[in-house]
Amino acid sequence: MFRKIALSLAITSLVMGAQAQKLQKGQKVETVVNMKMNMNIEMMGQNVDNTTETTNTNDIEVKEASVKGFVVASTTRRIIMKANAMGQDISFDSDKKEDLDGQMGQAMKGAIGKTDEFQVDNQGVLTDVKMAEREGQAGGFGDMVNVGAAMAKGQQFPLIMPGNGKKFKVGDTWSDSAGTSETVKTYTNYVIKSISGNEMVVGLTGKLAKSGVVQQQGMEIQMDLNGDFTGDSSYDTASGLLTKNTTVMDMKGSLGLMGQSAPLTMKTTITTVVNKK
C-alpha cells in the first residue's frame, strides 16, 4: 500500500511539473510600475543632485497563447512624474489636461496610448521585441531614467513565470545575458527562493552596463554607466503571471559633453505590482 501511495504521488508530481502555464488568449491585467531614481553628477567641481519618481500604468493583454509561447501587448495608459533637476521642481500627470498641454506634456504625451509587443517562448524568454514609436519624447535625461527598464531578446520576460510550468524546487539556479552596451547589456543570475501554495519567489542578481551617445536638446552626450542590481519577483503559479517585483540598481559612470567628463552615481528602485482586471 505504501509503495502504491508513493508511486501515485510521484506520478502526480510529474504530471504537475509538465503542465504548461495557464495563460490564455485575451487574458488582461494592469501593471503599475513605480521607479525612484537618485542621481548625483559632479560638474565643474560642484555636486548636483537630481531626483526623479515616475509611475507608469500599463494595460497588458495576452494576444496569442500556444504550446510554443505567447504574444503579449503592453499599452501605456498613464504616466505620473515628479522630479527635481538642477534645483527645479517638475511635475506631470498625463490624466491632467493642463499638464498634457504644458511644456512637459509636449515631451511625454507621445508615449500615452502607445502599444509595445513582446514575443515570449514557452520558457518565458523574450524572442522578439516591437517597441512603438514615441514622437516628441525627451532623449538624454529620459534615457538615463529608464536604464534597467529596457527589454531585449534573450532576457527572461518579467511578467511570465520562467520555465513554462517546469517543476522547480527551492535552490534551483540559472543565468542569462541579453542586450547590447548601446542599449543596456544585462547579466542576470536567478534562484528559486521559495515555493508556497500558489506563490513562487524568484531572486535575481546581476550586472548591467550602458555605453553610447544619447541626444538631448540637440546635443550629443556620451553616456557610460555600469553597476549591479538585486531583486525579488513573485509569481502566481496557478496563472503563471507576475504578482509583484522589486529591483534595486546601484550604478556609476560618467557623462561626456564638449570634451568634458562629469562623473555620476545613480541609485534606482523599481517596484512593479500586477492587478487583475
d(CA 179, CA 156): 12
pLDDT at position 150, please?
Answer: 62
Q: Give 10-residue mean pLDDT values along the chain (277 residues).
A: 35 34 85 93 83 93 91 94 85 92 82 91 88 61 48 83 79 88 85 94 93 74 90 92 95 84 92 92
CB 108 within 8 A of CB 96: no
pLDDT of residue 141: 43
Give the total number of structural domains in the chain: 1
Predicted pLDDT of residue 168: 87
Task: Write down the pLDDT at residue 143.
Answer: 45
Which residue matches cell numbers 545575458?
177
Q: What is the pLDDT of residue 12?
A: 31
Interatomic CA distance for residues 95 and 109, integer angstroms: 10
Q: Give the integer Cα–Cα distance in Å for 61 and 256.
A: 40
Q: What φ, ψ does residue 203 adopt, rounded to 5°? A: -90, 145
Q: Give the domain CATH number at 18.
A: 2.30.230
Q: Which domain holds residue 250?
A: 2-276
Look at residue 252 in the predicted model and tell me its pLDDT: 94
